[in-house]
Structure 1
């Protein structure tokens, strides 16, 4: 790093001439704007998530859930309103809930709802779309519908043998000797580094997207709702952005229909490449191979339904 800094100072004249191009200036401006807008919400969500990890036992959710699985699904979905956090953190929390006796349908509903309907995500969406307040309600409805639909599908069709043996094994509690504040700082630090990396990646992707992809391509999607929905759904899976920052990234993409942007916001926190990997490690490959594709289809359908109801199919 020191060597690179020395070279940058020595050859700053040549570098300035080389890098002083309109496309690079535009890309750097978009990157900084996305990161600066999203960072306060990301930090706030990480701090709240750390406090919950340290001071709120997972058994509190189990005690609040009805014994009937079908009735427990919407309760677990609305529980996501009170638990801000990244989708990366919801996977181990959901596995812990199953290991503590929570019905898998409720735990999986919470897995999908917590990173998508919490107040931090909704406020960040409102800030990213100041001219479209309907987008906040549409995202909430589409994400909650996705989570509850997957929970009810598990009640009807899910099988415990799809879950790996280690996901069902009851936990034995051990006292690590660390204070609650140590748990808070370690959890917050881990989540910030993890989610911050995805935010930087998202900012770079958004900048490259705006600079490298011709505006005419995106404008062509403006009149093709079906194609726009499919493209944005696949893009949400591939980019794997943090739910607390994805609204700023998609808001910076010009020419897209609102419903296509909504699909991106609903699909991303529910299924992406990093979540598939995390779910495979937490619940097993047999589970991920069934859960991820089904969630992808349900999320697209839920987002389109919410868009048709609240955005008028725009």
Structure 2
């Protein structure tokens, strides 16, 4: 096997190992929401005021240690339980960007610099709130994605636990294929694209932003 394929394999596996715990956490939380949380409980938790719902969802999302793949099943299940779109999207935005694990990683990655942590957090919160507020004006209804009603109140704790595991497995295989595809693309990019190309494109302050944001979108 060539050195390039060995490098591709190493990077690919390392990405999967790094991401899988957060994906598993996400699908397990999704399963708990499905089996233990009723629509009535969710309706009581979400403020009737749209602005309040946007702010609450934005800050709650920042507490969830889930990656981009892991936050999707959680958000989808919340919408199925009655969380409106204008609250679900800000929740999905802040979860992967500024959760406690990511903030700690940012702090370490940038040489224990708190300024970068605060800048990342504040900008992410502002963007999430703006998007949520725009959605409150764009849609006249809450755009709730109701699912088939599951009467969890009539189930025993054991039945709910089994249902949680079954739901988590289904969600894992639903989301897992996208994680594998994304990890393969990211590993291929790091293996076969020369670093010098990125350095040449990103030498200037203005071009560096476009290069990094473009890579973030692709990978």
TM range (shorter): 0.7 to 0.9
Deviation at 1:49, TM superposition (A): 3.4
The CA distance in 1 between the partners of 2:201 and 2:213, in whole Å, is 13
Q: 2:33 aligns to what?
A: 52
My pick for the range that moved more, 67-76 or 105-114, is 105-114
Q: What SS does the corresponding residue of 1:202 show, helix, strand or coil?
A: helix
Determine which structure has greater relative contact order: mean sequence separation of CA pairs < 8 Å that are 6+ residues apart, divided by chain length.
2
The equivalent residue for 1:190 is: 170
> What pairs up with 1:1-314 in 2 under 5 angstroms?
19=1, 21-83=2-64, 85=66, 86-97=70-81, 100=82, 104-118=85-99, 122-123=100-101, 126-127=104-105, 130-132=108-110, 133=112, 134=114, 137-155=118-136, 157-160=137-140, 167=143, 173-175=149-151, 179-239=159-219
SS in 2 for 1:160: coil
**What SS does the corresponding residue of 1:26 show, helix, strand or coil?**
helix
- CA deviation after TM superposition for structure 1 residue 24, in Å: 2.0
Q: Distance in 2 between matches of 1:230 and 1:182?
A: 47
CA deviations over 1:26-65 (Å, ceiling 9, x no partner): 2222222222233233323333333233223354343233
* Runs of 5+ unmatched residues, structure 2: none
Name stretches of at least 5 consecutive residues in structure 1 with no aligned partner.
1-18, 240-314
**Contact 1:94/1:110, CA 8 A, preserved across alignment:** no
Q: CA deviation at 1:216?
A: 0.7
Aligned residues, how many?
Answer: 209
Q: 1:188 to 1:226 in 2, by over 3 A?
A: farther
Q: Cα deviation per residue 1:238-295 (whole Å; 9 max; x = unaligned)? A: 44xxxxxxxxxxxxxxxxxxxxxxxxxxxxxxxxxxxxxxxxxxxxxxxxxxxxxxxx
1:136 and 1:25, CA in 2 relative to 1: closer, same or farther beyond 3 A? farther
Bigger Cα Rg? 1
What's the Cα RMSD here? 3.4
Q: CA deviation at 1:237?
A: 3.6
Asked whether the equivalents of residues 55 and 129 of structure 2 are also in contact (C-alpha less than 8 Å), the reply is yes
Cα deviation digits, residues 203-243 of structure 1 (max 9, x gap): 3222211221111112124423433333443444444xxxx
Any idea what SS the aligned residue of 2:48 has?
Answer: coil
Supply the distance in 2 between the matched residues of 1:71 and 1:81 (Cα, whole angstroms). 16
- For 1:31 and 1:129, the matched residues in 2 are separated by 25
CA–CA separation in structure 2 for the residues paired with 1:95 and 1:112: 15
Do 1:94 and 1:108's aligned partners in 2 also have CA atoms closer than 8 Å? no
- Contact 1:90–1:115 (CA<8 Å) still a contact in 2? no
1:115 CA drift (Å): 4.7
TM-score by length of 1: 0.54
Q: Distance in 1 between matches of 2:14 and 2:120?
A: 22
CA contact (8 A) 2:26 2:73 kept: no
Q: What CA distance in whole angstroms lies between the structure 1 residues aligned with 2:188 and 2:27?
A: 27
